[in-house]
Chains A and B, each alone.
Chain A
Amino acid sequence: MELIVAENISKDYKVGEIVIHALKDVSFEIEPASFVSFVGPSGSGKTTLLNLIGCLDKPTEGKLTVAGTDISMLDRKESAAFRGNHIGFIFQDFNLIPVLTVYENIEYPLLMVQNVPATERNDRIHGLLKAVDMLDQKDKYPDQISGGQKQRVAIARALVTNPKLVLADEPTANLDSQTAHAVIELMKKMKDELKTTFIFSTHDQKIVGEAEIVFTLGDGKLKDQEVKGGMKNG
């Protein structure tokens, strides 16, 4: 069964009197445990598509099913619960909560969203801290660690709820190339270990090369879909 099924989805925004067609009639499918990248120039619709898949927004037209749920049918509260249980987020600016330590940032979704018992919480966090190599930094606050370390914490936070899907909007944009590569490698490793689907958007061609499936967007349309080992038109 496909993890994500997009059927002719469109998204329009209204800015004053002007209607902006951010996405036009986009269709695709993504299988579980995939490592997917959305590429394209600024304004091509990458972030809009990630927002729709991430249940942060709803399509104007078409049907988008994530983990078997038609996300356009969810209300505000259900959307929040759906995101909390099925989707992890990694942000370009890391978006760690500044008043929480590394450990507490990773703990946050388990405590505030999933109400996981303390012992299990501790086990999961320690496992992920080891996996992202941040165990020795667990008591530090976000302003005491580097950008690469912050993004590793963000990856751990995104994965701690055991989501089916992790969405990363330009996760390496604020990192140097070496750290960016390390972050993508870490995401790949986590995908292999946990069988979680990673979808990320990027401009960086070196990073794009790491993806198993690359969707190319332009002017709100899906231009190409490249699967490792071949290319087919979208």
Chain B
Amino acid sequence: MGKLFKIAVRNLMRYKRRTFLTASLITIGVIFVLVFISVSGSFKAMMISQITDSMLGHIQIHKKGYVAAIDNLPLNLNLRPQAVAKLEDILNNDADVEAYSPRIKFGGMFSNFVETTNIRLNGVYPDREFKTIPLLASRISAGKTTIEKGGILIPVLLSKGMGVKIGDTVVIVTTNKDGSVNGKQFTVSGILESATGPGGRDGYVHIEDAQELLRMTEMEISEVSIRLKDFDRLHAADLKIQNLLAGELNQQGKPIFEIHTWEKLSPFYHLSRMIDLMTFFIKLMLIAIVLISIMNVMIMAVYERIREIGTIAAIGTPPKKILSMFVIEGFCLGIFGTVIGNIFGAVIIYIINASKITFDFAMHQGLILSANIKASDIISISVIVIIVSVIASLQPAFKASRMEPITALRHV
């Protein structure tokens, strides 16, 4: 086998310019794919992080039917304390869960005593919410980075539109699930930058204030937002929680809970899928480049060496070894292009990161592009290129191995 590799490499070196050009094409393809994957992956990861860490969380759990009616913020579809206790028990014992935050979501009227508008609010336990949604603190552009009882964090658009500043007193009027109206005064404790996605323009109050405002006799929860320790375990953790909660049924024998990953809650998931699709097509282009360039060069190699093939076949070289000789040549070409492509790709990714290129995403400006490539991506691209190189060599190699020595020896 070693000799076959030696012959293959020497044959490649025999036509240095052609080998160099073909390898360059593969190298450029590999570099392009690696850089694209790293940049688009970085953009995608940052986009997902902005969405999940600013508002949504990685997974949300609601009472069955809540998400279908989420635009109405239905108070009659809140989770009862017993259900919440069961849920908390499961989440407290789940090794994948880093933090979770129960929320009461409700809508109301916001008044500054001069004007009135509508507002969507989240009643939260501040410490748990900040742990679950770590970018929330960074969204508070003015005021305290906490949510005290009696205080309210209002969205910046509302603050500007209503002319409300930090320290101003405002009134929130809301209707509880029984239809009775209640109001409560709050002091504006912070101004909140908008976040991208659902709930990104909601205000925040302390959960106990929300309970009081809604005249809840017991703590009813609209949703529980969960943050995982490892985002890559999203689907595994989701499945695990689904399985654990599957046995929790109501009196009618129907599931109490519904579990959704961020993907099902945010339209930006489709954007991330578009990025995946683009990556797929870029990979397809790479496959086409490798396939065509290697097949072309191997067809040429076979055509140029017909008499040589005739000689080695006449000497008694088994057809299998002739086939291997040419396949190994294509394989070596693929390896060469891949290795050089990986090295240059890594260098370009390093340069991109060192250049600290910034980009804007929705309301967020100046996000630094942090191009990252996983080892698994490098391995998978390398494997794809090498396999395609071998496949591209097969047809010419097969043709060489099937050549009649007598015909090949006569070739001029």
The yes or no verdict on A and B being binding partners is yes
The residue on B at minimum CB distance from A93 is B307
**Given A98-B14, A99-B7, A112-B312, CB of A84 within 8 Å of CB of B406:** no
Interchain CA distance A59-B18 in the complex, whole Å: 42
Interface stretch (choices A49-57, A124-132, A171-179): A49-57
User: B317's contact among A51, A56, A80, by CB below 8 Å, is which?
Assistant: A80
Q: Which of A70-84 contact B (CB under 8 A)?
A: 76-77, 80-84
Q: Which residues of A contact B313 (CB under 8 A)?
A: 80
Q: Is A33's CB within 8 Å of the partner chain B?
A: no
Q: Which of A88-110 contact B (CB under 8 A)?
A: 89, 91, 93, 95, 97-100, 108-109
User: A80's contact among B11, B14, B319, B406, by CB below 8 Å, is which?
Assistant: B319
Interchain CA distance A151-B409 in the complex, whole Å: 17
User: Are the C-beta atoms of B317 and A84 separated by less than 8 Å?
Assistant: yes
A-B pair count, CB < 8 Å, reads: 68
Q: Is B345's CB within 8 Å of the partner chain A?
A: no
Q: Which residues of B contact A56 (CB under 8 A)?
A: 314, 404-406, 409
Shortest Cβ distance from residue B383 to the other chain A in the assembled complex, whole angstroms: 29
Number of interface residues of B (CB under 8 A): 23
**Given A91-B311, A97-B311, CB of A84 within 8 Å of CB of B316:** yes
- Contact flags B288-318 to A (C-beta < 8 A → 1, else 0): 0000000000000000000110111111111
Interchain CA distance A98-B321 in the complex, whole Å: 18
Interchain CA distance A97-B7 in the complex, whole Å: 10
Shortest Cβ distance from residue B322 to the other chain A in the assembled complex, whole angstroms: 9
The residue on B at minimum CB distance from A89 is B314
Interchain CA distance A87-B405 in the complex, whole Å: 14
**Given A97-B308, A99-B14, CB of A113 within 8 Å of CB of B409:** no
Interchain CA distance A97-B409 in the complex, whole Å: 13
Shortest Cβ distance from residue A106 to the other chain B in the assembled complex, whole angstroms: 11
Q: Which residues of B contact A51 (CB under 8 A)?
A: 406
Interchain CA distance A98-B312 in the complex, whole Å: 12
User: Are the C-beta atoms of B409 and A81 separated by less than 8 Å?
Assistant: no
Q: Which residues of B contact A87 (CB under 8 A)?
A: 316
User: Are the C-beta atoms of A109 and B406 separated by less than 8 Å?
Assistant: no
Q: Is A194's CB within 8 Å of the partner chain B?
A: no
User: A84's contact among B11, B310, B315, B409, by CB below 8 Å, is which?
Assistant: B315
**Given A51-B406, A97-B308, CB of A109 within 8 Å of CB of B316:** yes
User: Are the C-beta atoms of A113 and B314 separated by less than 8 Å?
Assistant: no
Return the 4 tightest CB-CB contacts between A and B, nearest first.
A84-B316, A99-B10, A95-B311, A83-B316
Point out residues on B near A: beta carbons under 8 Å. 3, 7, 10-11, 13-14, 307-308, 310-319, 321, 404-406, 409
Point out residues on A near B: beta carbons under 8 Å. 51, 54, 56-57, 76-77, 80-85, 87, 89, 91, 93, 95, 97-100, 108-109, 111-113, 157, 161
A-B contacts, 24 of them at CB < 8 A, read A56-B314, A57-B406, A77-B319, A81-B318, A83-B315, A83-B316, A84-B315, A84-B317, A91-B409, A95-B307, A95-B308, A95-B310, A97-B308, A97-B311, A97-B312, A98-B14, A99-B14, A100-B7, A108-B312, A111-B3, A112-B317, A113-B315, A113-B317, A113-B318
